[in-house]
Each structure stands twice: as structure tokens, then as C-alpha cells.
Structure 1
């Protein structure tokens, strides 16, 4: 009798396991492949794939319908972090947020992480559906720091404290930008770098990398892949935290050697050693002061 009961319990347990396995198999989103949504042959006029096989996103190379079908089933949340102090709050922040509300990750849950020096100066904004606004204040005693250093240090703290639990992907952008057209899920990836709008069209040997051997940001002559713009970085919160950690350690190293390399130099060194998994073309960060070359078909920011 006891053995029959044990057998029934075992059968019931195995059946339950099969039901659980079936549930997760049926509800699991199949991982999307690069070839499902990316067609580099559509843009033979530009670089669309790196030497390490990462896609370079240009208008015409991606199928947003396929990507939307994938990411909507994953029910993702995307964070957008922006840092503004002093006159940048009054001059740029409202236009940045309003344009991002209209064009950034339309149809997806977005959290705007806004880091400022004075909360009372924040614009009064009414955001669209699926949008959340979170504002944070930097300490006044920290304002003497280099602003890029303060921006990345603050962002790293917030990633650790809460962002990594709230967002699947995160972008950090300079506030003095305006979204012009849809900035969509084709930009999502583990580690996303922005190609520089000016230096993309120049010879690699002329890139303004940090060349001093004593700097943690040094890329020796003859080396380097692309020149990346510091106005936009993206990826998973953990990957951005890794970048920030290397940057802060690089600053400490340079300071101890009486050197002062720029944030963009450290960023380029990081991506030289840790290749980004996705690159955004200059279409995603164009400067309207520059003449529009024929390769730029659709300006996003």
C-alpha cells in the first residue's frame, strides 16, 4: 500500500514537471538571429559589418517589423539617462525629453532617468503612455568634478541602486540633442557604440585617439577600429556599468600620472579592447551644422 502511494506521488511529481516544462517551452520567446532582421547588402555604399562581425545600423539595413515582433513579446523596458546641470537644464532638457517622448522606443515601456543639480528647475512635462519620468539630484559638493566624470559616476551609482532591476536596456545620451525621427529597437544590443559623425568619413590614421603611452586611454599609432562619439552609449545596464568602472579606474590611473585624458578618449579605448556588439551609424547622431553627405539618408538624432 505504502509503495503504491509512493509510486502515485512520483508519477504526480513527474507529470507536474512535464507541465512546467511545457509551459516555459510554449511561453519562451525564441532568440532572434541577426539574419532574421539585418540585411547588410541593402547598403553597399557604407560599412555595414565590422571585422568582428558586429552590425552597423544604417537606414535600410534592418527590418523593424521583425524586431518589434520579437521585443514586444519579451515585454522589455528601456531606460534613457540624461545628465543636465546649470544652463543645460534651461536650454536643452525640455526639448530633449519632448523629442525623446515622441521618437524614442515608440510602443515600449521607457523610463527617463534625469540627473540634475536642482530639481526645482525641471520642466513641467506630460509624457505619453508607457513613459515614466524619474529625477535625481547630484550633490552640490560634487559639482566641482569634471562634468563627464560626475555624469558617469552618478549614472553608475544609479545603475547599482535601482536601474539594473528596472530596465532591460539602457542608453545614456548628451542632453544637447534633439530626436528627429524614430530611434527604435534596431538600436538595442548588449553593448552599443555610436560612430562619430565627423570622424567616420576620415582616415583612421588621423583619429584623435589618446596617444600618450602613460595614459590608460592610450591607443598606439597604427591601431584602432573606428572613432566613437561619447554623446550616445547603450547596452544592458551591466555592460554600461562595466564601461563606467573601466573609465573611472582609467581616470584614477591618469590622475596619478599627472595626465588628463578626455572621457571620449577613455570611451574609445574601452571599445577598442571590448568590441561593441552593435554600432550605430552617424544617422543616429548627426550634427545639422555639417553638410549632409549622400550616405546619410535618414537622420534620427
Structure 2
């Protein structure tokens, strides 16, 4: 009887939603992949109903964490990143912005939406940009284990040199999600820029691979992200002890992990778009990626 009362209480929180009945005979998007072979959805604009997703997500009463690393001159991107995220990221939901930086005084103190706050962590920076990039896995692994699991339900990891252009909501959330890399969309897998040296922990042979994922945006539950970052950090440390550094740094280790730990959701090119790379794809193989993009939700910014 107590269980029945609990479900009745939950039902009271739901309000009526009016929308067309779904039809499997009329897919929302044609011409793009919307499902992987392991039944993970590939998220494109118009493949979901955000009103339904928001209603379901609100039942969890959860907070989302969004992290960025702003080291050395990358602090110049912070203000634009936070301003655009506060406008377009997870509207109507609580968000903690986690800023990892070597210059805490550069973190903007602008006003945010209700239910949002910036939490700053000071971390060291290194002379080599490669070392700054590689430490991300270790730092997130440590902090997710120590405190993030007590503060947020989902954790999203983003590059700082990007800007949110349109709504990015709970449609991206799942236990483990990754984002397609624009440069390798519709490319045969032996042409992916995986690490090809067998001595590296990031090694993937040419006859393996599903997609090539960007390191610019990934996330999931705190528990899954802790497992991912801890595994990637361990691979990095093992390679370091053998004087090996993966070709594409933490992105190489991320792709190795995701090959054997399949993401439960994949974000399309709309969630990390780069006009320069899209033009390069058109020039190299005449693939018109612009025609596939209904809404470019996140844009990579030119390097300053």
C-alpha cells in the first residue's frame, strides 16, 4: 500500500501534454543515422520532443554539472562560454558550472539564472599545451570521486573555446554520451585518426572502430564519468612511463575507452559544429555537411 501511495504522489507532479501520436512509419529525420547497432540513439534536431523529456527529467529533481578547463591564455574564452551557456544550456534546470583554472581571478562574476552557480577550482598549468590537455582526465577523475557525486547527477565536459548558439537541453543526457567529430563523419574507420602505434594504450587497429568522437564534448552520470576519466588517466600514465604520448592526446584515450565501453547516447554534428572544418570537408570530398545541420547548437570558436 505504501508503494501505491508513492506512485500516486508522483503522478500528481505530472501535467497533461498534448502532442501528435508517434509513428515509426514516419521518422523525424531522414538521410542521417539515428540509431547505432547497439541501440544507442544518435541525437539530431527534431528527433526528440523536448517538452516530454523536460517533464520526465524534472521528476528526478537533479542538478547538472558543466565543466571547463581554462588554463593560461584560454581564460579569454571564459566570459563568452559562461554567458552563452547561461542562455542556452539546460534552460529551466539547475546547473553548477565547474571552472578549472590556473587564474581564478579571471573567472567572471556575472549574474546567472536562478539555481545556477560557478564553482572555481585552482589547478596548475604547464608549459606544454599537451600536458594541460592531458591532465583533464586525472583532475575530473579525482574531483568526481571526492565531491561531484554529492552535488550533481550528470556531468558534462566541454572545451572552453566554444559558444552555445541554440538550446542544449536534457536530450543530451544519458549514463554515457559522446559527440561525433565533424571531420570524420561518413569516413571509413581505417581513416579515423585513432592512435595506430601498438605500444600505446590508446592503440586501435584499423579493422576496429565505430565512430570517431571529439574530445570537445562528452558526459554522463558522475559514476560513469569517474570510471571513464580514471581509465583514461591510467592509460595516459602507463604510456608516460613508456615514453609514449598518444597522437591526439586525451581524445585518443577517450576514443579507446568508448570503443569498448559503448556510449548510451551519441550527439550529432549539430552539438559541436565548426564551419571551417565543414568547408574543408566540402573541398576535400564534396560532402555538404551544412545541408545536414538544421540547428548548429554549439560552435567551435576560432583560436585566438
TM range (shorter): 0.7 to 0.9
Q: Shift of residue 157 of structure 1? A: 1.8
Q: 1:248 to 1:178 in 2, by over 3 A?
A: same
1:295 maps to 2:279: no
Are 1:77 and 1:110, in contact at CA under 8 Å, matched by a contact in 2? Answer: yes
Measure, in 1, the Cα distance between the counterparts of 2:272 and 2:192.
18
| Contact 1:38-1:63 at 8 Å conserved across structures | no
Contact 1:37/1:64, CA 8 A, preserved across alignment:
no
Aligned counterpart, 1:251:
236
Of 53, 56, 68 in structure 2, the residue corresponding to residue 82 of structure 1 is 68
Mapping 1:91-102, distance limit 5 Å: 91-102=76-87
Q: What is the CA RMSD across the aligned residues, in angstroms?
A: 2.1
Give the deviation of 1:183 after TM superposition: 0.3
Determine the C-alpha separation between the residues in 1 that align with 2:179 and 2:46.
18
The residue that corresponds to 1:41 in the other structure is 27
Which residue of structure 1 aligns with residue 5 of structure 2? 23
How far did residue 202 of structure 1 move? Answer: 2.3
CA deviations 1:34-64 (Å, max 9, x no partner) are xx98979221201110010100000111111
Q: Work out whether residues 137 and 230 of structure 2, in 8 Å CA contact, stay in contact via their aligned partners in 1.
A: no
Alignment of 1:169-180 (within 5 A): 169-180=154-165
Aligned to 1:187: 172
Q: Any gaps of 5 or more consecutive residues in structure 1?
A: 1-17, 31-35
Q: Report the secondary structure of 1:252's partner residue.
A: helix
Counterpart contact for 1:116–1:138, Cα < 8 Å: yes
Task: State the aligned residue count.
Answer: 276
Q: Aligned in 2, Cα 1:59/1:38: closer, same or farther, shift over 3 Å?
A: farther
Residue equivalent to 1:265 = 252
* Aligned residue number for residue 11 of structure 1: none
User: Normalized against structure 2, the TM-score is what?
Assistant: 0.85
- Matched with 2:301 is none
Alignment counterpart, residue 279 of structure 1, candidates 247, 258, 266: 266
Conserved in 1, the CA contact under 8 Å of 2:43 and 2:171? yes
2:244 aligned counterpart, secondary structure: coil
Q: Is the 8 A contact 2:101 2:124 kept in 1?
A: no
Aligned counterparts of 1:287 and 1:127: Cα–Cα separation in 2: 27
How far, CA to CA, are the matches of 2:273 and 2:205 in structure 1? 28
Structure 2: 5+ residue stretches without partners: 14-20, 280-288, 299-304
Q: Which has the larger radius of gyration?
A: 1
Query: Is residue 204 of structure 1 aligned with residue 201 of structure 2?
Result: no
Q: Which TM-score applies when normalising by structure 1?
A: 0.86
Structure in which a larger fraction of residues adopt helix: 1
